[in-house]
Amino acid sequence: MRNLNFGYGISRPRVINLDNNDLRKSNAIIAEMPELQACIGCGSCTASCTAGNLTDFNFRRLHTAVRRGEYQGAYEEINKCMLCGKCRLVCPRGINTRELIMLIKRKLGDF
Amino acid sequence: MAKRVVIVGGGAAGMQTALELKSRGIEPIIIERDMDLGGKVRDWHKLFPSFTPASDVLQPIIDKVRSSRIRCLLGQEVKTFAEDGVILRSEEHVPADAVVIATGFSLFDAHRKQEYGYGLYHNVITSVDLERMMNNGRVMLADGTEPRRIAILHCVGSRDEKVCQKHCSKVCCITGVKQAIELKQMFPTADVFNFYMDIRMFGPGYEELYREAQQRYNIHFVRGRISEAAQTINDRIQIKAEDTLTGRPLRMSVDMLVLLVGMSANRDNEALAAASNLSLAPNGYFQTKDSFLGAVQSERPGIFYAGAATAPKSLADTLAEASMTASAVERYLRDKYNNR
Ligand code: SF4
Ligand code: SF4
Ligand code: SF4
């Protein structure tokens, strides 16, 4: 029964809707770390990421989505990070990415 | 005999070239279609990247043209080129030893990108409209209220084969950064989003200003081109794009949409090129003799270019090019008359 396949399913909307997203946490993250807005999406953090080379963890995409108020699954995802800090060494905008991971964890995990 | 040079166009390029020629002892005559000197910069409020009032740059140039008694034929257009000068639409023959084409560009007409609703929806404006609003002292929505959320769209009428504008207009990225900051200064609690395909910060201080816009002014930069805009039932504008850095479609409504309109080749280039037997580049701008050593020369001896007649240029580029043009003209006249 559980494995019955009707050949169709229900897709969740993939659209980022900035009218409905609750941007309060995202705004709080940016307020604490304004330099995050200076990200130019170069992907150096993802390219150098220890976790990203072993799993599908993509740090650039994750923090971009968080800035847009897309928090679902982000906390669980970010736990893949091993806090090695390599991303911070390469960011051309000098963003303290390791600190950013802690900040996102704090804001999204509410601890 | 004092050498005479006809300059077609009385904007920044034409005026500055005239002043440079005058200081070299050559007599310039400016032919300007409008009834005033100044060209497109007249509509501008402040200049990137320093926020210098445009009039602080333009007015001294205009004043100097007037005080140096440079002859200006206003409200006149060149009809055709003769061996020894130009012939105006009024059939007047203006003799000259050389000609400088400083006819600049045309603004891309935002109506042509119908999907953005310019001229259809309230509060869809162009970057030029925004400068005019700032010049008039107040930026507001059609109903007189303040915008709380603003989107700025890059590359409108540039890098777009759909409207036959394949080139990059060069100055609109930095203009978008400048205007985003100005909007944030006017409306500190508003959210400003710049939608871009690439960010091109080619000049000194530009990248630094971009970073300031991001970090200090909290302006949101979204890499993705708005595909369409629609008016909502409460008179806002709904926009759709892809947030390409997350790989997901993005939707939001804003109070104001600013279209960074590009610099198109001057609409009259074709007629002028035909009349002067000059050729145009594929993007419709005048073709220079060479990209490196002949950047202000045309393919015809005695006809020169200055400013945005040959490519999109910033005001700083244009003013710098004016002296290049003037020295090229001076060199040409010296060779021509010494060889006689
Ligand atoms: S600190 Fe985390 S995100 Fe940064 S490189 Fe290491 S594992 Fe990747
Ligand atoms: S390395 Fe820095 S600038 Fe590049 S994507 Fe990562 S956070 Fe952004
Ligand atoms: S300068 Fe920027 S906005 Fe203007 S056409 Fe080029 S990429 Fe587009």
- Judge whether B227 is closer than 8 Å to chain A, CB to CB: no
B156-163: average pLDDT: 97
Q: Which residues contact B155 (CB under 8 A, 6 or more apart)?
A: B168, B169, B172, B196, B197, B225, B260, B262
Domains B4-105+265-338 and B110-262 share a fold: yes
CATH code of B110-262, in short, is: 3.50.50.60
How high is the pLDDT of residue B190?
Answer: 98
What residues of chain B lie within 8 A of the CB of A19, using their CB?
251-253
What residues of chain B lie within 8 A of the CB of A17, using their CB?
250-252
Strands lying side by side in the sheet with B220-223: B124-126, B256-261, B149-156, B191-196, B220-223
The response to whether residue A89 sits with its C-beta less than 6 Å from ligand 1 reads no
Q: How far apart are CA B116 and CA B148, in angstroms?
A: 19
User: Which among B215, B247, B248 is the nearest to A38, CB-wise?
Assistant: B215
Q: Which ligand is nearest to the CA of A91?
A: 2
Which residue of B lies nearest to A66 if distances are taken between CA atoms?
B246
Domain ranges of chain A: 2-107
Closest-CA residue to B177 (of B217, B146, B139, B228): B217
SS (H, E, C) A40-99: CCCCHHHHHCCCCCCCCCCHHHHHHHHHCCCCCCHHHHHCCCCCCCHHHHHCCCCCCHHH
Alpha carbon dihedral A10, A16, A19, A25, in 10-degree steps, equals 110
Q: 3.30.559, 2.60.40, 1.10.1060, 1.20.1630: which CATH number matches A2-107?
A: 1.10.1060
The response to whether residue A42 sits with its C-beta less than 6 Å from ligand 2 reads yes
Of A7-16, A22-31, B328-337, least confident by mean pLDDT is A7-16
Closest-CA residue to B90 (of B74, B109, B105, B77): B77
Q: Which of residues B82 and B263 earns the better pLDDT score?
A: B263
What residues of chain A lie within 8 A of the CB of B242, using their CB?
none
Burial of residue B201, with CB atoms counted within 10 A of its CB: 0-12 exposed, 13-18 middle, 19 or more buried: middle
Strands lying side by side in the sheet with B303-305: B71-74, B27-32, B4-8, B98-101, B303-305
Which residue of A lies nearest to B220 if distances are taken between CA atoms?
A37
B247 conformational bin, left if phi > 0, alpha if psi -120 to 50, beta if neither: left
Residue type, B16: Q
Strands lying side by side in the sheet with B85-88: B78-82, B85-88, B93-95
How high is the pLDDT of residue A1?
Answer: 52
Under CATH, to which class is B4-105+265-338 assigned? alpha beta
Q: How confident is the model at residue A30 (pLDDT cuts 50, 70, 90)?
A: very high
User: Is residue A110's pLDDT more than 80?
Assistant: no
Average of per-residue pLDDT values in chain A: 93
Which residue of B lies nearest to A20 if distances are taken between CA atoms?
B252
- Judge whether B223 is closer than 8 Å to chain A, CB to CB: yes
User: Helix or strand or coil: residue B36?
Assistant: coil
Each residue of B254-312: pLDDT tens digit? 999 999 999 999 999 999 999 999 999 999 999 999 999 999 999 999 999 999 999 99
Q: Which residues contact B283 (CB under 8 A, 6 or more apart)?
A: B165, B166, B167, B265
Q: Do B223 and A41 touch (CB under 8 A)?
A: yes
- Judge whether A60 is closer than 8 Å to chain B, CB to CB: yes
CA of A51 to the centre of ligand 1 (A): 6
ipTM: 0.91
- Judge whether B214 is closer than 8 Å to chain A, CB to CB: yes
Q: Do A37 and B252 touch (CB under 8 A)?
A: no
Query: What angle, 0 to 180 degrees and rounded to 10, lies between the N-to-C axes of helices B12-23 and B54-67?
Result: 40
Q: How confident is the model at residue A5 (pLDDT cuts 50, 70, 90)?
A: confident
Domain ranges of chain B: 4-105+265-338, 110-262
How high is the pLDDT of residue A8?
Answer: 82
Each residue of B99-109: pLDDT tens digit? 999 999 999 99
What residues of chain B lie within 8 A of the CB of A37, using their CB?
214-215, 218-221
* Token pair for A51: 């976790």
- Judge whether B249 is closer than 8 Å to chain A, CB to CB: yes
Closest-CA residue to A35 (of A100, A101, A110): A100
Closest-CA residue to B216 (of B247, B185, B171, B254): B185
Closest-CA residue to B127 (of B222, B44, B3, B216): B44
